[in-house]
């Protein structure tokens, strides 16, 4: 590559331009002709790109190679006007909360963990987080579409308080205050069965795996574990966590076997 830029700088520029153009990593990798795992590694700066791949990237993302490789690089110098809104198939999937589906998943998790005294609010939040991000990493589609914010005790789904209050008001849940190992804890008791007809087999399988893997963990253990997950690590305090960061996960967090795709 005729450039003095580092692979990490090149990868970051490609990632920024991809997002501004409205492509997902999967869409861009297909257009360029490389695998999804390879595109992940390119953007992370762990894989160099050939001149042929770079030329295809320039064509797909509509940028001048000279300007892109300039040390005095400015994204505003690159023509990256968004694709027309009619080209829906090539847009990034923007998360949109599916309230009914979110309620049934929450109810299903509570139903499956009802006999576990460790599953208070903190553990419940993390089970929802890992279900959402594992499913997105594995299938590149949103499970609930919930937005998660980076807060001190881990990723927290937004609008959850209002959803829980509505479910309690409707008679589907009961909120109780207890103690667990000497610490105050809020727990939610399901008063009805979850409607799993809203879930596909693949969605149910991911949720089941998350419950099996994490539901016996303490609030402290699962919080500390979530802090080591790439989406959390790469986000700023207080900001919404980008689902795309799930594709930068490594073992043991990754829910997808990228090496099998190469």
Backbone angles phi, psi at 185, to 5 degrees: -145, 140
Which whole-number Å values give the CA distances from 96 to 105, 247, 254, in the listed order?
A: 15, 19, 23
| CA torsion through residues 169, 171, 173, 178, sign | positive
Instruction: For the chain, list the domains and their CATH numbers.
Output: 7-90 (1.10.260.40), 99-261 (no CATH)
Residue 98: exposure state from Cβ atoms within 10 A (0-12, 13-18, ≥19): middle
Query: Taking a C-beta distance cutoff of 8 angstroms, is the pair 156, 133 a contact?
Result: no
Which residue(s) pair with 157 in the sheet? Answer: 148
For residue 51, how many C-alpha atoms fall within 13 Å in the half-sphere facing its CB? 4
Residue 93: exposure state from Cβ atoms within 10 A (0-12, 13-18, ≥19): middle
Question: Is this structure's pTM higher than 0.75?
Answer: no
Would you give the end-to-end CA distance of the chain in angstroms?
23
Query: Taking a C-beta distance cutoff of 8 angstroms, is the pair 150, 122 a contact?
Result: no
Q: How confident is the prediction along the chain (262 residues), in pLDDT tens digits per residue?
A: 444 788 888 999 999 999 888 888 888 988 888 888 888 889 988 888 888 888 889 888 888 888 888 877 766 555 544 443 334 344 445 688 999 999 999 999 999 999 899 999 999 999 999 999 999 998 888 999 999 999 888 899 999 999 999 999 999 999 999 999 888 999 999 999 999 999 999 999 999 999 999 999 999 999 999 999 999 998 999 999 999 888 888 889 988 765 444 4
| C-alpha span between 18 and 178 (Å, rounded) | 48
CA torsion angle for 64, 65, 66, 69 (degrees, to 10)? 120
């Amino acid at each position: 590559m005729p450039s003095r830029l580092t692979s990490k700088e090149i990868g970051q520029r490609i990632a920024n331009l991809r997002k501004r153009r409205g492509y997902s990593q999967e869409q861009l990798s297909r257009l360029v002709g490389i695998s999804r795992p390879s595109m992940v590694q390119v953007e992370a700066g762990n894989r160099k790109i050939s001149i042929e791949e770079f030329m295809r990237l320039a064509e797909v993302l509509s940028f001048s190679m000279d300007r892109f490789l300039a040390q005095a690089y400015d994204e505003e110098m690159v023509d990256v006007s968004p694709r027309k809104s009619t080209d829906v198939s090539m847009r990034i999937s923007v998360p949109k909360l599916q309230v009914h589906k979110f309620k049934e998943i929450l109810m299903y998790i509570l139903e499956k963990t009802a006999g576990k005294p460790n599953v208070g609010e903190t553990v419940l939040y993390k089970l929802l987080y890992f279900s959402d991000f594992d499913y997105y990493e594995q299938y590149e589609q949103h499970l609930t579409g919930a937005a998660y914010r980076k807060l001190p005790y881990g990723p927290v789904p937004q609008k959850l308080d209002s959803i829980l209050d509505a479910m309690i008001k409707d008679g589907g849940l009961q909120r109780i205050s207890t103690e667990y190992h000497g610490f105050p804890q809020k727990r939610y008791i399901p008063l009805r069965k979850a409607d799993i007809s809203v879930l596909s087999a693949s969605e149910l399988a991911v949720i089941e795996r998350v419950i099996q893997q994490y539901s016996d963990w303490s609030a402290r253990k699962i919080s500390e574990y979530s802090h080591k997950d790439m989406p959390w690590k790469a986000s700023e305090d207080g900001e919404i966590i980008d689902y795309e960061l799930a594709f930068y996960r490594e073992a043991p967090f990754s829910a997808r076997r990228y090496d099998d795709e190469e």
